[in-house]
Amino acid sequence: MSFDPHIAVTRFGAGLSPHHALPSDVASILAEAAAGDPLAARWPLMKLQDVIKADEDIRVLSGIAHKKRGTEEADAAKTARKAIFDAMRDAETYDIGGLVARMLAQPYGLGERLVQFWSSHFTVRGRGGALQYGVGTLASVAIRPHIMGRFEDMLLATVMHPIMLLYLDQAQSVGDNSRTAKLRPERGLNENYARELLELHTLGVDGPYTQDDVRELAEVLTGLTFQRGEGTIFREIYTEPGAETVLGKRYYGEELAPIKTVVRDLAAHPATGAHIARKLAVHFVSDTPDEALVAHVAARFVETQGDLAAVMAALLEHPAAWKIERDNVKWPLEYIASSLRVLGMTEAQMAAANVRQIDKIVRRPMVGMGHVWQRPNDPSGLEEEDESWITPQAVASRINWAMNMPRRFGIQLPEPAELLLRIAGPSAPPELAFAVNASESAREAVGLLLASPTFQRR
């Protein structure tokens, strides 16, 4: 088992494409991912400060609509508020178009796959107001800059992101002995974020922490909160006085210093390395990954204290990463984007799509496939088990999409025989070749190819 260009772009990239040559080695895939986001200027994603501004504007307008209800001023405020909501909703949809465009434009596409992987690892949901549409800013601010950087920097950036602090209730948590709690005894500690930080983001649920560590970490985090109209701030009067002990180490100090220290310590913990290594191997290679592969990646994580470029190199250099069997199934967004990509759609064609079309071809079909975009039920992230994605109704949704959407979107469909070659190479499974020939129409043949396990697996 060794490097294979076909596996390289399907398993570790955005998928096959008639427009991009296959990579010749692992180094070029890693180099592309490390080169950042070349489409940032052409496809600007939503900005965090705009989301915070919209949130504040909505608060002000709601205040006017409430206090002056019955007046023309209130009606104008409601109209203005609706316009902001509509613009935010459109911006969120447009951002999905931006992600698909990136997956069409990048020659290999490991970077976009990593953005999706880490966005799932740090799953958030926008709480209320305009923030519900701003989930994507976590990826732009906290994830994109660090996919080939240091895990501790990524983790700290998520800790500082207002949508994370709101989602996991950190923004409202105050120390039980803080000055705020002394004045307002009903306020106090909320341990939700501390628990998920340990369980989901760093050590993993089997990691070496106890209920006391959760509690003490929650106390370290006090002071970190959200100010409407501003963003993440540190509020001294929320802090629990004194030192706290997390995993046997004492943390104390001024303002953000102990928070930053504990976050960096958690990021570098060997249990975090083991947790992240397994998640990467499961996501990219197999739900039941080779233990030697996991150990190899985990060791690199620990050696380099979470240098993600080195960690990804460790994953891609290991022979078990190149196993022939395609154990995993594409996630819904990846499935849709790789379908458009293999059909030959270009980034320029994507740029011509309006918000309604993006909604119709990407966001809404994803719901049927089991992924409600940016509206997770809980912070545990997208499922990795293939059985979660290939359920009867999800497979029906994938079949419906494959059969109907590309044509409705006005994509010029390739010749079925050519698409077969593109997807399966010269050694296509005989039943797939037979099915393509036996189809009643070219559209159906293309649909069958996109719906086939050969294309859906990676």
Partner 1 sequence: MTTDLNRRRFLISALAGCSAAASPILTPVTMASAPWDNRVVVIILRGAMDGLDAVRPVGDPDFAGLQDGKLRGGEEEPLMLDNFFALHPALSDLMPLWQAGELSFAHATSTPYRDKRSHFDGQMVLEAGSGNDVDGRPRDGWLNRLMQIAPGVEASTAFAVGRSRMAILDGEGPYSLWEPRTGLNVSPQAERLLELIYHDDPLFRDAATQAFEIVGDIDAEPDPSDEMSADMNMMAEVSGNGSLNAEVAKFVVERLRNETRIATFSINGWDTHVRQGQTLPNRLRGLARTILMLKAGLGPVWSKTSVLVMTEFGRTARINGTGGTDHGTAGAMLMAGGAIRGGRVLGDWPGLRVADLYQGRDLLPTRDIRAYAGWTMRGMFGTSSSDIERVLFPGLELGADPRLLL
Which residues bind to partner 1, rule: CB under 8 A? 169, 172-174, 176, 181, 186-192, 195, 199, 205, 210-211, 329, 367-368, 370, 377-378, 380, 385-388, 390-397, 399-400, 403-404, 429, 431-432, 434-435, 438-440, 444, 447-448, 451-454, 456-457
Residue 7 or 450 having the CB closest to partner 1: 450
How far from each other are the two terminal CA atoms of the chain, in whole angstroms? 15
For the CB of residue 235, give the shortest distance to partner 1 in the complex, in Å: 14
- Which tokens sit at 404? 């109907």
- Which tokens sit at 93? 């949809």
CB-CB contact of 316 with 26 (8 Å):
yes
Residue 135 or 174 having the CB closest to partner 1: 174
Residue 257 or 434 having the CB closest to partner 1: 434
Residue 103 or 200 having the CB closest to partner 1: 200
Helix (H) or strand (E) holding 224: strand 224-227
Phi-psi group of 325: left, alpha or beta (phi > 0 → left; psi -120 to 50 → alpha; rest → beta): beta
For the CB of residue 396, give the shortest distance to partner 1 in the complex, in Å: 4
For the CB of residue 181, give the shortest distance to partner 1 in the complex, in Å: 7
For the CB of residue 280, give the shortest distance to partner 1 in the complex, in Å: 18
Residue 309 or 433 having the CB closest to partner 1: 433
- Which tokens sit at 408? 């409705």
For the CB of residue 234, give the shortest distance to partner 1 in the complex, in Å: 18
Structure-derived torsion over alpha carbons of residues 244, 245, 249, 253, reported in degrees to the nearest 10: 0
Q: What is the rounded distance in angstroms from the CA atom of residue 298 to the CA atom of residue 296?
A: 6
Q: What is the rounded distance in angstroms from the CA atom of residue 122 to the CA atom of residue 196?
A: 10
For the CB of residue 45, give the shortest distance to partner 1 in the complex, in Å: 27
Q: Is 68 exposed, middle or buried (0-12, 13-18, 19+ CB in 10 A)?
A: middle
Residue 62 or 261 having the CB closest to partner 1: 62
For the CB of residue 188, give the shortest distance to partner 1 in the complex, in Å: 2
Angle CA(55)–CA(61)–CA(62) in degrees, nearest 5?
90
Phi-psi group of 382: left, alpha or beta (phi > 0 → left; psi -120 to 50 → alpha; rest → beta): beta
Residue 305 or 454 having the CB closest to partner 1: 454
